[in-house]
Chains A and B, each alone.
Chain A
Amino acid sequence: MPATDIAVIGFAQTPSVRDDARSEVQLLVPTVAEAIEMSGVDRREIGFTCAGSCDYLTGGPFAFVQNLEAAGAWPPIAESHVEADGAWALYEAWVRLQEGDIDTALVFGSGKSSPANPLELWPQQLDPYYLAPLGVDPASLAGIQARALLESGKATERDFAEVVARSRRAARSNPNAQLKGDVDADALLAEPYFSSPLRRHDLPPITDGAAAVVLARGDKARQLCSRPAWIRGLDHRVDPHQPGMRDLTTAPSATLAARKAGYDGGPVDVAELCAVFSPQEIILREAIGLPEATEINPSGGPLAGNPVMAAGLIRIIEAAARIIDGSANRAVAHATGGQLLQQNLVCLLEGE
């Protein structure tokens, strides 16, 4: 049984913006400092540091090494990196904390999408023989997935528009959101298609940003935080890579990750889902088994700001924030990697 006495006790994120003039490390330095300050941990006491980022975004091999400046790697520290969203860095830190010899860990995730065209960059992450040479891009794949959902009868184009409208309305109270406002579904449905049946607003915005989290164990967490957000379960799973070899209207790996994280479809106050295309929220809701009463993406979610490689970690931050401030007692946070919800991570958080 994994330990259940590891908690989020500090966090910070940059605002999500279309084009931030600062470099990734410049985004991270103040963000990491703010998360450490909130936690009350002495920076020199941090037992383990793990970062998530994507070298393709920066455009050079080992680009992630520069980001270590934000952690302060002298005197030498124990650290690691994942070529994935910071949520997977948090997973590695959570596993490391279970060894029991350290009490605190620092996690961060960062990404700048502004320097390149995401439609040309992301095909690089796909299988290099069958998919990448065709330039199969995320918006086109999401269009195929959206049509599969429509033709299965599980959703309508209006359902997609309602997800977008609700996300942008919710984002009005999120100072870090990039896209916010009072829009109605009818107006959205009048827009032209981008990758049919998706319209531009069904796609995530292009965002630069970063986020950081401090984790602590047991008594250390209780000493430093009056109401820690305890991680009761955390798991990630993966589905087949080839989009034509699975049912795109479901996400079995999200279901499995949720069950392995200890979430069985019971009551939960808030869920923060990394649904980067509007139809994916409908798929995830069903896959994870969230009740009707659960509030989905009160932050606005990735449709309101999508700093890739931080967007999943921010879901954990937004869920933990609502536990720590007492407005929720049980929350689910979700992160995703790859294309079309191929890989999914689920984190179950609770108050005392």
Chain B
Amino acid sequence: MCSDSGVTELRTSETKLEFPYTRTVGPIVGAFLTGLRDGKLLGTRNRDGRVLFPAVEYDPETGEALTETVEVGPEGTVDGWTWVAHPTPKHPLDRPFAFALIRPDGADTAMVHAVDAGDEATMSTGMRVAPRFRQEAKGIVTDLEAWEPVR
């Protein structure tokens, strides 16, 4: 495969993938992230009265600018899930967990986040979960460390 292109030895370079920018997150995403820091979950209400969660600046269906934030949860329902048996270093937990669509009470849509369920057999669509917030909050999405099953 390589002989015709003249490759005799492999030359390699290492690169680091990152998002090395500082950004202003704005009034809606900013409110959501500040909310997490304070242990609150925020959605945004659209013209039809539906509450989109997590809070978004624009209604993805209509393009309507959204300005009204609404506190939802804290408990929620799992709308869908998968089991991560072998977490990568980029994942929020270093032990097996579920990635799930979680719709907090009072919200009409769900966010993807981790459920620290311990065992895949614990997971089911429709199960109830509650958020576990980090002690030292930074105003980022991982301030919400994970969701936990509610007995």
A binds B: yes
Q: Which residues of A contact B (CB under 8 A)?
A: 17, 20-22, 26, 29-30, 56, 58-60, 116-117, 119-121, 123-124, 128-137, 140-144, 146-148, 151, 193-198, 239-246, 248
Given known pairs A128-B19, A136-B99, the reply for A195 and B33 (CB within 8 Å) is: no
Q: Are A244 and B88 in contact (CB under 8 A)?
A: no
Q: Are B90 and A242 in contact (CB under 8 A)?
A: no
Q: Are A137 and B33 in contact (CB under 8 A)?
A: no
Contacting residues, chain A, for B52 (C-beta < 8 A):
245
**Residue in chain A with minimal CB distance to B108:** A245
**Residue in chain A with minimal CB distance to B82:** A143
Instruction: Say which residue of A30, A141, A195 sits within 8 Å of B83 (CB atoms).
Output: A195
Instruction: Say which residue of A60, A119, A195, A198 sits within 8 Å of B15 (CB atoms).
Output: A60
Given known pairs A120-B88, A134-B113, A144-B82, the reply for A242 and B5 (CB within 8 Å) is: no
Q: Are B103 and A244 in contact (CB under 8 A)?
A: yes
Q: Are A140 and B17 in contact (CB under 8 A)?
A: no
Contacting residues, chain A, for B13 (C-beta < 8 A):
59
Q: Are B7 and A22 in contact (CB under 8 A)?
A: yes
Q: Are A141 and B88 in contact (CB under 8 A)?
A: no
**Residue in chain B with minimal CB distance to A129:** B29
- List 9 extra interface pairs beyond A133-B140, A136-B112, A147-B81, CB under 8 A: A58-B15, A120-B89, A135-B91, A196-B83, A242-B60, A243-B112, A244-B111, A245-B56, A245-B110
In chain B, positions 59-113 with a C-beta closer than 8 Å to chain A are 60-61, 79-85, 88-92, 99-103, 109-113
Ranked nearest first, the 5 interchain pairs of A and B with the lowest CB-CB distance are A143-B82, A59-B15, A135-B90, A240-B60, A244-B110
Q: Are B90 and A123 in contact (CB under 8 A)?
A: yes
Given known pairs A124-B19, A130-B111, A134-B112, the reply for A244 and B101 (CB within 8 Å) is: yes
Q: How far is the CA of A120 from the CA of B88 in the complex (A)?
A: 7
| Range, interface on chain B | 35 or more
Q: How far is the CA of A133 from the CA of B23 in the complex (A)?
A: 15
Contacting residues, chain A, for B29 (C-beta < 8 A):
129-130
Contacting residues, chain B, for A134 (C-beta < 8 A):
91-92, 99, 112-114, 141-142
Contacting residues, chain B, for A195 (C-beta < 8 A):
82-84
Q: Are A140 and B99 in contact (CB under 8 A)?
A: yes
Given known pairs A119-B88, A130-B111, A135-B91, the reply for A242 and B54 (CB within 8 Å) is: yes
Contacting residues, chain A, for B82 (C-beta < 8 A):
140-144, 146-147, 195-198
What total of A-B pairs shows CB separation below 8 Å? Answer: 133
Q: Are B19 and A132 in contact (CB under 8 A)?
A: yes
Interface bits B1-23 vs A (CB < 8 Å: 1, else 0)? 11011010010010111010001
Given known pairs A120-B90, A134-B141, A136-B99, the reply for A129 and B81 (CB within 8 Å) is: no
Contacting residues, chain A, for B54 (C-beta < 8 A):
130, 242
**Residue in chain A with minimal CB distance to B61:** A240
Given known pairs A22-B1, A133-B142, A134-B141, the reply for A245 and B33 (CB within 8 Å) is: no
Contacting residues, chain A, for B92 (C-beta < 8 A):
134-135
Q: How far is the CA of A56 from the CA of B16 in the complex (A)?
A: 10
Q: Are B81 and A124 in contact (CB under 8 A)?
A: no
Q: How far is the CA of A196 from the CA of B98 in the complex (A)?
A: 10
The answer to the question of B120 belonging to the interface, with a C-beta cut-off of 8 Å to chain A, is: yes
Q: Are A59 and B17 in contact (CB under 8 A)?
A: yes
Q: How far is the CA of A246 from the CA of B60 in the complex (A)?
A: 9
Q: How far is the CA of A140 from the CA of B102 in the complex (A)?
A: 15
Given known pairs A130-B54, A144-B80, the reply for A21 and B85 (CB within 8 Å) is: no
User: How far is the CB of B135 from the nearest CB of chain A, in Å?
Assistant: 18
Q: Are B60 and A21 in contact (CB under 8 A)?
A: no
Q: How far is the CA of A245 from the CA of B111 in the complex (A)?
A: 8
Q: Are A22 and B141 in contact (CB under 8 A)?
A: no
Q: How far is the CA of A128 from the CA of B19 in the complex (A)?
A: 8
Contacting residues, chain B, for A130 (C-beta < 8 A):
29, 54, 111-112, 141
Q: How far is the CA of A119 from the CA of B87 in the complex (A)?
A: 10
Q: How far is the CA of A21 from the CA of B3 in the complex (A)?
A: 10
Instruction: Say which residue of B1, B33, B91, B112 sits within 8 Å of A131 (CB atoms).
Output: B112
Contacting residues, chain B, for A240 (C-beta < 8 A):
60-61
